[in-house]
Chain A
């Protein structure tokens, strides 16, 4: 047997991959270009600063089986400015996503929406005469549930950050060793 199973037989699910990058112009372009060119499917992609001034951190949720994700990790490593890559899917990991949801309100619906927010520990961050802005943080499932619940009131605007992830305990995707 010298071959991989055909795509249909492979389990497709999402993986969370975390990468540390040199914080330089064009690096994100390289990473995104790589995903496009190799046909990797991205569900979400989030980048931001770390505690180190010259290193940024990328969390990407990719669709695909283990073989595809192994290629994602290896191809990411080939980008010169990528310092570290980890597939944290199987780790004990905290994942969070933030969403801002602007929901239409009428005379009677405002309090109902606020009750739902309480249950989700979501915050009302802006109030207007005909709308509320909700800030919710949590796992993708939680955010998705809240979005579904408020949909019937009329969502005027919605923005989600995509997933960020951090491994629990002392393990983690931390410093790059400078040998």
Chain B
């Protein structure tokens, strides 16, 4: 058997020109993907996409077989975040398509460019409840930026073009293209359009200059300004511009959960994480600031707490590319619609330098009272200790992915990022099970980088089957399993707000090391601080994937915490502080 490498295939494909030729729909789709620069697809085959999978092997597009379609969507999401262009996933009709749903919804909530391609039953069976038919465009209507059902092969190329354009521009998001099975096998003349014609879709990139000057005016008069930086800074690549604004005007910068890794956290102006489990200094500063500058974020309830008590003394400047986010949750004095990078560039050219020593001294007091990176030694291994050990072993340079819950908050708090776009977490939808798939997507997007999947024992088990994918591709992902035997955050809420009634939050523990070994992935357990440090060292020294089962203390809580429904002022500090 002669094997041809994908690189060789790509070289030979680049030479031939198929424009104007008659091709089957499956080939048209592959040609379109090539023209969109797609090198890798995460997917799972099935009946309705068999014609696509049949031609796929002829193309220089790498297909990563996942063991559950949710992983395909989440890996494509992570790939999209790291690359800054759409990640792509494939699934078949019916259950294949519905299994994508959680991943697509996650990408939607976190503004991530993803193009999901599903097969459906042939056009003549559509609408008739055929085997494995589902109305996936109907199902995903509220969780996609846009979606398409392709029933005519002549519309396929322009649809794919539009899908990539919509997914990757403006406020990015997932776009689903559902293709009837017979479209894959029907021929049409292939012409790939150079432009898209979407009359109703014109994102605004440049902010209104009058508003930008109004913002500069507010900044000039502020005594206690504060920046809330979100995912939009990462997406638009406004790192330098944000740093320039902060330094020029001496403004402290809090980061939303998805904004982490958009501003160097070792910087004197970093307030680190804001919101429900944000640092004491960040949340207390928000409550005292007189000017709040939201950049590429959406004033989500996990950031604001009770809106009526949020930043009570502040005027608000809100910069976002999505006009619908401005004024949605928080009343805004100066709205600026535009790309964070473009707007900050313009803003930096009109703001005057300022100093706010008193304000920063006040914030330093908060920090002194409740240090952001302090944890209390207690019985058993502490997650902050483990995360800190990983931070030290990786020089703070790893890509970190997480599931959702306590370990996610601790990872957010104790792995400070100086490098850009290193943090992958499901912030908006809060999808457990995101940790491992996103590590897979990230490792394919950045093969040379160190990827740590910091996962909870609850979330990990939701996509544990894809250890097979990790093994198949020998992805050197380091899986740090924070095993407390509980759905930790559920347990914490039950303890604090539901009279210690641990209803269905106890998981117990299978033997994770054996499970990893079953997939031929080396594993070991760590129960003490010394074992944890040694295990992290071992993970870094072991080529390929590893799993560490950190047996962390069972009943620890994440502090500080804004109680649900409470204002940021209702912050609950660690009782041991």
Partners in one complex: yes
| Interface of A toward B, CB cutoff 8 Å | 1-4, 6, 22, 26, 29-30, 33-34, 37, 67, 70-71, 74-75, 77-83, 176, 178-179
What are some 28 contacts across the A-B interface (CB < 8 A)?
A: A2-B311, A2-B312, A2-B314, A2-B331, A3-B310, A3-B330, A4-B330, A4-B331, A6-B308, A22-B199, A30-B141, A33-B142, A34-B142, A37-B142, A67-B327, A71-B324, A71-B327, A71-B328, A74-B323, A78-B322, A78-B324, A80-B145, A80-B166, A80-B201, A83-B199, A176-B200, A178-B199, A179-B202
With A2-B330, A4-B331 already in contact, the answer to whether A80 and B198 are too (CB < 8 A) is yes
- Interface set, chain B 512-539, CB cutoff 8 A to A: none
| Interface of B toward A, CB cutoff 8 Å | 137-138, 141-142, 145-146, 149, 166, 198-202, 292, 307-308, 310-312, 314-316, 322-324, 327-328, 330-331
Given A3-B307, A71-B327, 4 more contacts at CB 8 Å? A30-B141, A78-B322, A80-B146, A80-B201
Work out how many contacts link A and B, with CB atoms closer than 8 A. Answer: 58
Question: How far does the alpha carbon of A29 sit from the alpha carbon of B141 in the complex, in Å?
Answer: 9
User: Which 8 A/B pairs are nearest by Cβ-Cβ distance?
Assistant: A74-B324, A83-B200, A2-B311, A80-B146, A80-B201, A3-B308, A37-B142, A4-B331
Minimum CB–CB distance from B309 to chain A (whole Å) comes to: 8
Question: How far does the alpha carbon of A176 sit from the alpha carbon of B200 in the complex, in Å?
Answer: 9
From B142, which residue of chain A is reached at the shortest CB distance? Answer: A37
Question: How far does the alpha carbon of A61 sit from the alpha carbon of B310 in the complex, in Å?
Answer: 33
Question: How far does the alpha carbon of A4 sit from the alpha carbon of B199 in the complex, in Å?
Answer: 33
With A2-B330, A80-B166 already in contact, the answer to whether A26 and B137 are too (CB < 8 A) is yes
Question: How far does the alpha carbon of A2 sit from the alpha carbon of B324 in the complex, in Å?
Answer: 17
For A78, what are the chain B residues with a Cβ–Cβ distance below 8 Å?
322, 324
Question: How far does the alpha carbon of A179 sit from the alpha carbon of B145 in the complex, in Å?
Answer: 23
Asked whether B331 lies within 8 Å of A1 as measured between CB atoms, the reply is yes
B141 touches which of A33, A67, A81 (Cβ 8 Å)? A33
For A4, what are the chain B residues with a Cβ–Cβ distance below 8 Å?
307, 330-331
For B145, what are the chain A residues with a Cβ–Cβ distance below 8 Å?
80
B327 touches which of A29, A33, A70 (Cβ 8 Å)? A70
Question: How far does the alpha carbon of A79 sit from the alpha carbon of B198 in the complex, in Å?
Answer: 11
Minimum CB–CB distance from B226 to chain A (whole Å) comes to: 12
Minimum CB–CB distance from B544 to chain A (whole Å) comes to: 43
For B322, what are the chain A residues with a Cβ–Cβ distance below 8 Å?
78
For A70, what are the chain B residues with a Cβ–Cβ distance below 8 Å?
327
Asked whether B142 lies within 8 Å of A2 as measured between CB atoms, the reply is no
For A34, what are the chain B residues with a Cβ–Cβ distance below 8 Å?
142
Asked whether B314 lies within 8 Å of A176 as measured between CB atoms, the reply is no
Question: How far does the alpha carbon of A137 sit from the alpha carbon of B16 in the complex, in Å?
Answer: 64
For B292, what are the chain A residues with a Cβ–Cβ distance below 8 Å?
2
Asked whether B199 lies within 8 Å of A176 as measured between CB atoms, the reply is yes
For B324, what are the chain A residues with a Cβ–Cβ distance below 8 Å?
71, 74-75, 77-78
For B314, what are the chain A residues with a Cβ–Cβ distance below 8 Å?
2
Asked whether B316 lies within 8 Å of A2 as measured between CB atoms, the reply is yes
For A1, what are the chain B residues with a Cβ–Cβ distance below 8 Å?
312, 331
Minimum CB–CB distance from B198 to chain A (whole Å) comes to: 6
B323 touches which of A2, A6, A29, A77 (Cβ 8 Å)? A77
Asked whether A22 lies within 8 Å of B330 as measured between CB atoms, the reply is no
For B137, what are the chain A residues with a Cβ–Cβ distance below 8 Å?
26
From B197, which residue of chain A is reached at the shortest CB distance? Answer: A178
Q: Which of B200, B292, B310, B311 has the most CB of A within 10 A?
A: B200
Question: How far does the alpha carbon of A78 sit from the alpha carbon of B203 in the complex, in Å?
Answer: 10
For A81, what are the chain B residues with a Cβ–Cβ distance below 8 Å?
200
Minimum CB–CB distance from B192 to chain A (whole Å) comes to: 20
Asked whether A22 lies within 8 Å of B200 as measured between CB atoms, the reply is yes
For B330, what are the chain A residues with a Cβ–Cβ distance below 8 Å?
2-4
From A4, which residue of chain B is reached at the shortest CB distance? Answer: B331
From B200, which residue of chain A is reached at the shortest CB distance? Answer: A83
